[in-house]
Amino acid sequence: MSFMLTMVLCSHLEMTCMQPVTNDKKYSSFKKCMMIGYEASKILLDTIHKDDVNNKQIYVNFTCTEGKSI
């Protein structure tokens, strides 16, 4: 099995989300994909000014979807 990470940046306050982004990287396990998702979410939030995150209540949503074998 392999898993693909899809991430979406959303605003809770505005009740909107950007288009989902999926890279071509495949992960060998669900756990590995999830761990990368959490790490990438932190990195992404760190690039956004704290006032924007707080004022718009920005959050990252992500999923790991099973795909074809590596």
* Tens digits of residue pLDDT in 7-56: 999 999 999 999 999 988 999 999 999 999 999 999 999 999 999 999 99
Q: What percent of the chain has pLDDT over 70?
A: 96
- For the record, the structure tokens of 43 come out as 């990195």
Distance CA 21, CA 60 (A): 11
Q: Identify which of 70, 67, 69, 6 has the alpha carbon closest to the alpha carbon of residue 36.
A: 6
Averaged pLDDT score across all residues of the chain: 94
pTM: 0.85
